[in-house]
């Protein structure tokens, strides 16, 4: 039941359903297909599309290929429609993008930072504010992914950078951004657009300088009571006794990721520095890669025993680790599985989204808030006579970070 009791409420409900369907399919399905998927009458679908086009939320284009007869139309984002500003703040750089309904990403800016809260978030806030002013009412919201646990209210801790209870919204100077953990956002994107689609219980692991992990249930990452649930990397899963900057001993993340690769070959590590050196180690040192993959496999076995996921997906460096050392990972994982898990282990595979997951998850958080009757009402109220600029696709600045191809 959708809860609609009047014709107006039903229409508002169906407007949201149609926009959500266009967004979730990547603006790739025809109006006829969407009409069937949503079980709408053809006339109802036509009225809905017309109204959403008038509100500059949808725009139709002929399908690239269609059968004889009347050309088939594909609903997609309006050229002056809503945009989610999405940010991925990593330990050494940040990436800012504008994302359209349907998921197309236009990278607006990529900059390195010095690892301090002020050095990272101050310039980012200025860049976001400049694009908000340029894009005007088109900005539906700002989503920010950060490489550390985020408590409700936007307080973030990134232990290996020395960040403690950093008030992200205040340093950005923004009203009501949606701030979240990068692994949780990457998991959300994987459930919406990657290899966790349709999975009831999945495990997603994101590997950068260290490792984060989260359980995904019915398409949503479990955030915990305070919002800091995406922290499997801070569990003692590999038998290590190394102290972790988070304050615990023997964290799994001490053995997996760029810092662990650097440590293995005797190079300086920590503080969000050494990405290029770590990528060189990842490409050239079979021993370091095998050690990383084995530690990853042992931890996966423990989590599979605990949570019984249908699938395990890996993003960030996890994709490369799996591509280069899948055999080592499986050799380490299998002995740690209970017999009942070993008979039918979950599939383990690299993310379909690579390094773009956290950014896409930040986008999804904004469109989740926007694609509601209330969100569409706010759009209509702010719509008249406002700025109608659009990101210039011919001037896109492609990311210099991993996974640079926009989707």
The string over 17-30, giving b where at least 16 C-beta atoms fall within 10 Å of a residue's C-beta and e elsewhere, is: bbbbbbbbbebebb
Phi (first) and psi of residue 206, to 5 degrees? -115, 125
Q: What is the mean pLDDT of residues 266-272?
A: 93
The pLDDT score that the predictor gives to residue 397 is 38
CATH architecture of 83-185+356-395: 2-Layer Sandwich (3.30)
The pLDDT score that the predictor gives to residue 383 is 73
Dump pLDDT digits (tens) for 193-217: 999 999 999 999 999 999 999 999 9
Question: Measuring CA to CA, how many Å separate 20 from each of 290, 353, 358, 376?
Answer: 42, 20, 20, 12
Contact 360, 86 (CB under 8 A): yes
Sheet holding 178-181, edge to edge: 105-112, 93-100, 83-89, 139-146, 178-181
The model's pTM is: 0.91
Structure tokens at 51: 């109204």
Angle between helix 357-370 and 373-382 (nearest 10): 80
User: Given 1.10.10.10, 1.10.630.10, 3.40.50.1000, 3.50.50.60, which CATH number is that of 7-77?
Assistant: 1.10.10.10
The pLDDT score that the predictor gives to residue 320 is 96
Tell which residue, 8, 19, 5, has the closest CA to residue 379.
19
The pLDDT score that the predictor gives to residue 59 is 96
Are both 83-185+356-395 and 198-351 of the same fold?
A: yes
Per-residue pLDDT at 400 exceeds 90: no
What gap in Å lies between CA 106 and CA 391, rounded to an integer? 7
Average pLDDT along the chain: 91
Kind of pairing between the strands at 220-221 and 311-316: unpaired
Dump pLDDT digits (tens) for 320-345: 999 999 999 999 999 999 999 999 99
Per-residue pLDDT at 401 exceeds 70: no
58: left (phi over 0), alpha (psi -120 to 50) or beta: beta
The pLDDT score that the predictor gives to residue 402 is 45
The pLDDT score that the predictor gives to residue 143 is 98
Dump pLDDT digits (tens) for 60-89: 999 887 555 566 899 999 999 999 999 999
Superfamily of domain 198-351: ATPase, nucleotide binding domain (3.30.420.40)
- Ordered by start, the domain boundaries in the chain are 7-77, 83-185+356-395, 198-351
What gap in Å lies between CA 251 and CA 213, rounded to an integer? 12
């Amino acid at each position: 039941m959708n809860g609609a009791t009047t014709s107006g409420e039903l229409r508002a409900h169906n407007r949201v359903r149609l926009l959500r369907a266009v967004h979730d399919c990547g603006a790739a399905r025809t109006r006829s297909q969407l009409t069937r998927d949503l079980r709408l009458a053809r006339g109802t679908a036509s009225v809905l599309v017309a109204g959403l086009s008038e509100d500059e939320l949808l725009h139709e284009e002929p399908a690239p290929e269609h059968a004889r007869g009347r050309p088939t139309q594909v609903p997609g984002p309006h050229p002056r429609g809503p945009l989610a500003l999405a940010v991925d703040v990593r330990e050494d750089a940040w990436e800012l993008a504008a994302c359209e309904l349907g998921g197309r990403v236009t990278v607006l800016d990529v900059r390195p930072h010095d690892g301090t809260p002020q050095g990272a978030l101050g310039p980012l806030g200025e860049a976001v504010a400049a694009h908000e002013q340029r894009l005007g009412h088109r900005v539906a919201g700002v989503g920010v992914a950060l490489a550390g646990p985020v408590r409700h209210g936007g307080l973030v801790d990134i232990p290996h950078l020395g960040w403690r209870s950093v008030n992200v919204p205040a340093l950005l100077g923004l009203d009501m951004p949606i701030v979240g953990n990068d692994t949780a956002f990457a998991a959300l994107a994987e459930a919406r657009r990657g290899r966790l689609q349709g999975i009831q219980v999945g495990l997603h692991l994101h590997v950068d300088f260290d490792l984060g992990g989260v359980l995904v249930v019915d398409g949503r990452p479990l955030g915990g009571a305070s919002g800091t649930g995406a922290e499997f990397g801070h569990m003692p899963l590999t038998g290590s006794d190394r102290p972790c900057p988070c304050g615990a001993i023997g964290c799994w993340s001490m053995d997996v990721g760029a810092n662990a690769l650097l440590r293995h070959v005797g190079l300086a590590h920590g503080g969000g520095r050494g990405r290029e050196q770590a990528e060189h180690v990842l490409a050239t040192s079979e021993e370091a890669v095998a050690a990383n993959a084995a530690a990853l496999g042992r931890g996966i076995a423990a989590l599979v025993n605990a949570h019984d996921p249908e699938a395990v997906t890996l993003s960030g460096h996890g994709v490369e680790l799996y591509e280069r050392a899948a055999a080592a990972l499986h050799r380490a994982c299998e002995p740690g599985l209970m017999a009942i898990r070993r008979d039918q282990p979950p599939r383990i595979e690299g993310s379909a989204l690579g390094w773009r997951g956290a950014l896409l998850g930040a986008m999804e958080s904004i469109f989740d808030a926007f694609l509601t009757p209330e969100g569409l009402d706010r759009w209509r109220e702010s719509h008249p006579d406002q700025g109608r600029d659009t990101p210039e696709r011919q001037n896109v600045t492609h990311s210099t970070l991993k996974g640079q191809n926009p989707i």
